[in-house]
């Protein structure tokens, strides 16, 4: 059965462009389009799509409020489309708070480019969300947390703008066909089956841990918030965070987390120290290394455009394995693809401990699955168990 998609955008150009992209793949079926949030809410109820692509700024009802209603009444995986700006990053985090599962940036240049890069990315995101198990039963996961005393939120309220008129709904369906060419969303390693503990009762925080490294992608912002907001200010270990995000988004996300967490969270800068009670988020478009001469210092390097992921979990894991060896606790969270699996292999060779998020609590069971199938996970854990076990390491 193809993944059923509802397209929501007040721009006729984007509705048509998204429809053209999705309708060329037989795994997908566009069952309707809407031009404002009210229509989106109504059509989600009527048509019951597997995935909704949602614009942010629309008349009558903006995308964020539409997501809140959809997640309350008809939980569905929603892919937000937002601008690659500071304001767009803020609004995207609001959408994730409201319950959206993922986002894509809405840069007009990439959407009109004759290459297939944007089409391939959009198609694979929609297919992955449509095939994931968590969407329909997931309530908003990126829950707003109280801020630190004296902190002010950098996320401002948003209301849609534009003329208050209704546009025609355009339900349609089609038969689709396509071939997958974009290597950045392919699984890049050969995996193998291996016995692994699949329950959390035997897992424990490693006593010799000196560094925690967490990798994540799709669904990661919500998962990271769940984990980090539970940690006490006295958490005795440094944390390195690798989340697939553009540079503008990582700066806003780090600031947001810092306001909500007891520990310090900041976007990493070259020369930053790895220290207890601090989580460093690798900036988008860059890679992280650890200074071998000063193991408590990190290096932030420009991301090589030939590499698929910038930042890359594989590179961060490899750097941690080289410097900290068996004193690393590595965690791989929800996300598409297989980034982290090769780095996990190096960590395991060095004697480190590897936790993988389980399928039931993932938005997309891609990155953890690659680690698990390669036989590299010491434990496969529910997100809440990961949070609880990390807390135990802070005592």
- By annotation, the residues acting in catalysis are 217, 244, 339
- CB neighbourhood size of 316 (10 A): 26
Main-chain dihedrals φ then ψ at residue 41, nearest 5 degrees: -65, -45
* Spatial distance between the Cα atoms of 142 and 93, rounded to a whole number of angstroms: 9
Burial of 201: CB neighbours in 10 Å, binned 0-12, 13-18, 19+: exposed
CB 99 within 8 A of CB 75: yes
Report phi then psi at 290, rounded to 5.
-115, 130
For the chain, give percent helix, strand, coil, nearest 5: 35, 20, 45
CA-derived radius of gyration, the chain: 21
350: its two tokens:
């060095």
CB neighbours of 299 closer than 8 A, spacing ≥ 6?
270, 271, 288, 289, 290, 291
DSSP string, 150-161: T---S-------
DSSP H or E segment with residue 55: strand 51-55
| Under 8 Å between Cβ of 139 and 115 | no
Q: How many CA atoms lie within 13 A of 376 on its CB side?
A: 32
């Amino acid at each position: 059965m193809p993944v059923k998609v509802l397209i929501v955008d007040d721009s006729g150009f984007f509705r048509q462009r998204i429809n053209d992209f999705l309708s060329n793949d037989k795994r997908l079926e566009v069952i309707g389009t809407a031009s404002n949030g009210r229509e989106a809410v109504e059509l989600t109820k009527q048509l019951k799509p597997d995935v909704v692509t949602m614009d942010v700024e629309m008349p009558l009802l903006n995308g964020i409020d539409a997501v809140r209603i959809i997640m309350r009444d008809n939980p569905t995986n929603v892919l937000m489309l937002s601008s690659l700006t500071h304001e767009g990053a803020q609004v995207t985090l609001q959408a994730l708070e409201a319950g959206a599962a993922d986002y894509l940036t809405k840069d007009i240049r990439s959407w009109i480019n004759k290459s297939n890069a944007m089409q391939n990315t959009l198609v694979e995101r929609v297919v992955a969300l449509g095939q994931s198990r968590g969407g329909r039963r997931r309530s908003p996961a990126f829950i707003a947390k109280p801020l630190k005393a004296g902190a002010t939120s950098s996320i401002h309220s948003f209301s849609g703008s534009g003329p208050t008129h209704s546009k025609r709904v355009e339900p349609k369906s089609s038969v689709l066909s396509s071939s997958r060419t974009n290597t950045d969303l392919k699984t890049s390693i050969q995996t193998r089956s291996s016995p692994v503990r699949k329950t959390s009762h035997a897992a424990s925080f490693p006593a010799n841990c000196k560094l925690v490294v967490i990798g994540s992608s799709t669904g990661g912002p919500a998962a990271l918030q769940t984990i980090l907001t539970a940690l006490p200010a006295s958490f005795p270990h440094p944390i390195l965070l690798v989340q697939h995000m553009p540079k503008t988004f990582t700066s806003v996300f780090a600031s947001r987390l810092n306001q909500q967490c007891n520990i310090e969270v900041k976007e990493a800068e070259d020369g930053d120290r790895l220290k207890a009670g601090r989580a460093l988020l690798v900036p988008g478009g860059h890679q992280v290394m650890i200074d071998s001469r000063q193991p408590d210092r990190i290096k932030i390097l420009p991301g090589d455009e030939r590499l698929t992921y910038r930042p890359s979990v594989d590179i961060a894991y490899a750097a941690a394995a080289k410097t900290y060896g068996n004193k690393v606790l590595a965690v791989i969270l929800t996300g598409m693809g297989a980034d982290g699996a090769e780095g996990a292999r190096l960590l395991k060779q060095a004697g480190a401990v590897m936790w993988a998020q389980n399928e039931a609590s993932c938005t997309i069971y891609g990155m953890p699955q690659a680690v698990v199938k390669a036989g590299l996970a010491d434990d496969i854990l529910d997100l809440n168990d990961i949070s609880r076990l990390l807390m135990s390491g802070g005592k």
